[in-house]
Structure 1
Amino acid sequence: MQVDWRGIYPAATTQMKPDGALDIEANQRMVEQMIADGVHGLVMLGSVGENTSLTAEEKRRIIASTVEVAGGRVPVISGVAEYTTDLAVDYARDCERLGADGLMVLPAMVYKADVREVVTHIRTTAEAVDLPVQIYNNPGVYGIDIEPPALVELARGTDNIVSVKESSEDPRRITDIINQDPQALALMSGVDDVALECMVLGCQGWVSGFANVFPAETVAIYDHWQAGRLDKAIEIYRWMMPALHMDVHPKLVQMIKLAEQVAGRGSETVRAPRLTLEGDQRAYVIDTIERALANRPSLD
């Protein structure tokens, strides 16, 4: 399947049973629901998907089972978040073999690489496969900022590096990348509470954590923006904003999964060392999502 890096791609959660084991059936149900709600693609095993909390075998099971349920209806992209370049290459090749349509490659985990090392890691991983590759830049979470010159260098030097998920939380970065080279990369916003701003400035789509919870509304924001109905896109975006702020919280995974549970779309179970929320944080998420559910806007 061709991946055009446009539209709404949920950064999908990974569903787990109460004991922390993978729940493949629940994961497939979640994927089916989001496809039915109109999402344009799926990003599995990103930050929200708890990639680094899963074993190598579990990651491959998630990709195989997602490819199975998607059935070619939407592209399936896998995050590549490994500790070494060799492990990233091995995983990328397995994703290709399992039928994934593309990859979202992060800098190597744990080690804070310099720009030369980051470029080499991402390029080596991309060159190991024939799949299209999206770079994932998330300096706030991973402590490495892949700045516009390095992003453009990667795209110019590697044919299958074609997109970036930009999660620097700074909409100005979109303009900086475009000014470096407007043709180098398909840009997608990776931060929920600046996503519409980033799309207005040049992003072609949105890799969204809260599309797990409100997929139809997230798609509606994109559709209205694409059709030139910015006022309607802003209306829905403003309704979602109290929830979208959770996407930049250190406990975004727990918050999004609890929000899914409140919305009847998934389970809040996370894998240790993460723990489910309690106290004020739990009350905050429940109250925010219940208020949103009670005041859903028209999508037309």
Structure 2
Amino acid sequence: MSNASFWKGVLPAITTPFSEDGNVDHAFLARHARILVEAGCTGIVPLGSLGEAATLAFDEKVAIVKTLVEAVGDQVPVVPGIASLSTDEAVRLARAVKSVGARGLMVLPVYVYSTDWHEVAAHARAVIGATDLPVLLYNNPVAYKTDILPAQMAELAAEFPNLQAVKESSGDVRRFAAIKEVLGERLVLLVGMDDAIVEGLCMGAEGWIAGLVNAYPVESVKLFEQARDGGYAAARALYDWFLPLLRLDTVPKFVQLIKLVQSKVDLGNERVRAPRLPVFGAEREAALKVIDHAIANRPKL
């Protein structure tokens, strides 16, 4: 599949469901993925930050990808996040998920160790070059303390034809224009922060690696389509309803909060892996106020 179509649309950063014994709930994972695809999502992105990848063992990651590939078949690509503490493990993971049917990779900077471009680029080259799969480069300087600049993206794009897209999560909407200025149409742009989706699409993004889609797939696809086709004016009513929820995607406890939303709409449970714990007390009450208001005023689409 070419970069003209692979990365467009709503690609859920799917959460990792856990059963009461703490293991991955593969049965629900498969069902959840099918629900997302039926709502119009164009891919599934497991093993991201929202998927709690840092707490998953290597074999668990491969098993999750295998389950998702079997669940969605040829309908949409499964594009796992590739992140680890070491370059060697990231390379092994890239090859392992390809062997079980992944059709693309989302390549992250290495966990924990934030460094200079010389080392970041060496890691990226090793992982991007580990397979021939289409690659989405993930830039999230807020979370990973590594900011991949447009000129640096261009350096990798010139070297690797399979680098097809960038997930931009700097939080600065001006970065979309800066990437286009340097790279033209060479890379497909995707929005990586839920509460910047309409703005990102207005600036030339064509895809959305989405979080709240885990709980509201139909609304997420509709919002994307409205903003893509008609801009802010067309999407405003739905965006106004959705924004308080979408902002839950951009805070430190976004995993717990999105899983709480899922539990409230009966599309999952709240279970997370330590060191994460479900939100409680005043923080929980504040989140539930937002969630309950959204449920009570859910638009009829």
TM-score by length of 2: 0.96
Answer whether contact 1:258 1:267 (CA < 8 A) is retained: yes
- Equivalent residue, structure 2, for 1:204: 206
Q: Is the 8 A contact 1:13 1:48 kept in 2?
A: yes
Distance in 2, Cα, partners of 1:174 & 1:258: 31
Q: Of 94, 97, 103, which residue of structure 2 is paired with 1:95?
A: 97
| TM-aligned CA distance change 1:232 to 1:83, over 3 Å | same
**Separation (CA, whole Å) in 1 of partners of 2:231 and 2:250:** 27
Of the structure 1 ranges 255-264 and 276-285, higher mean CA displacement relative to structure 2 is found in 276-285
- Quick one: which amino acid aligns to residue 41 of structure 1? G
Aligned partners of 1:96, 1:19: CA distance in 2, in Å? 29
Q: Deviations over 1:12-59 (max 9, x none)?
A: 100001232111111111111111111111111100000010001100
Preserved contact between residue 263 and residue 289 of structure 1 (Cα < 8 Å): no
> 1:135 aligned to 115, 134, 137, which one?
137
Partner secondary structure for residue 165 of structure 2: strand
**What one-letter code is carried by the residue in structure 2 that aligns with 1:251?**
K
Match of 2:248? Answer: 246
Stretch deviating more after TM superposition (279-288 or 210-219): 279-288
In 2, Cα distance between equivalents of 1:140 and 1:60: 27
Q: Amino acid of the residue matched to residue 144 of structure 1?
A: T
Q: Does the CA contact (< 8 Å) of 2:137 and 2:167 recur in 1? A: yes
Query: What is the alpha-carbon distance in structure 2 between the residues aligned to residue 230 and residue 255 of structure 1?
Result: 26
Given candidates 34, 37, 41, the residue that maps to 2:36 is 34
8 Å CA contact 2:140, 2:147 repeated in 1: yes
1:176-215 equivalences under 5 Å are: 176-215=178-217
CA contact (8 A) 2:202 2:228 kept: no
AA aligned to 2:75 is: R
Letter in 1 for 2:83: A
- The amino acid that maps onto 1:110 is V
Query: Which 5+ residue runs of structure 2 have no aligned equivalent?
Result: none
Q: How many residues align?
A: 299
Residue 76 of structure 2 aligns with which residue?
74
Query: 1:78 Cα deviation (Å)?
Result: 0.3
Residue among 215, 237, 246 paired with 2:239: 237
Letter in 1 for 2:78: V
Match of 1:168 in 2: 170
Which of 289, 292, 299 aligns to 1:290? It is 292
Query: Which string of whole-angstrom CA distances, capped at 9 and with x for unpartnered residues, describes residues 239-283 of structure 1?
Result: 100011111110001001111101110011000010011011211
1:184-234 Cα shifts (integer Å, max 9, x gaps) = 211000011111101100101111111111111110012123333643312
Where 1:44 maps in the other structure, the secondary structure is coil
Secondary structure of the 1:256 match is helix
Tell me the TM-score normalised to structure 1 length. 0.97
* Alpha carbons 1:156, 1:184 under 8 Å: kept: no
Gaps of 5+ in 1: none
What is the distance in 2 between the residues matched to 1:281 and 1:70?
36
Q: Any idea what SS the aligned residue of 2:115 has?
A: coil
Runs (4+) of structure 1 moved beyond 6 Å? none
